Amino acid sequence: MGMTHDELERLAELVAARLSEPSAPRLVNAETAAKMLDVPPSWLMSEARKGRVPHVKLGKYRRFDPSALAEWARERASR
């Protein structure tokens, strides 16, 4: 049988609550991030290790938030 009206309302509330939650940024690896910036991955990793590029360190891994990289690049654009 189908769902009752109350069950449908509860499901709608759960879906609405889930959709209103901020989603975590999708992090990308150095190769993908370097392609976005059109730079070699080795340069990007070197700059990340020096703390010059926004990144997230997850144990031995460094990952990059595409929106943070885009903002970082815009801030450095020549005018």
Strands 56-58 and 61-63: antiparallel
Distance of CA 68 to the CA centre of its chain: 8
HEC readout, 6-47? HHHHHHHHHHHHHHHCCCCCCCECHHHHHHHHCCCHHHHHHH
Q: Is residue 6 part of a domain?
A: no
Q: Which domain CATH number covers 54?
A: 1.10.10.10
Instruction: Give residue 39's domain range.
Output: 25-79
User: Percent of the chain at pLDDT above 90?
Assistant: 59
Residue 13 inside a domain? The answer is no
Which of 1-5, 11-15, 63-67 comes out lowest in average pLDDT?
1-5
Rounded CA separation 23/27 (Å): 12
43 lies in a domain? yes
Structural domain total, the chain: 1
Any domain includes 47: yes
pLDDT, tens digit, 9 for 90 and up, residues 28-52: 999 999 999 999 999 999 999 999 9
Looking at residue 51, its pLDDT comes to: 96
How far is the first Cα of the chain from the last one, in angstroms, to the nearest whole number?
A: 64
pLDDT digits (tens, 9 = 90+) for 7-18: 788 888 888 777
Rounded to two decimals, what is the model's pTM? 0.68
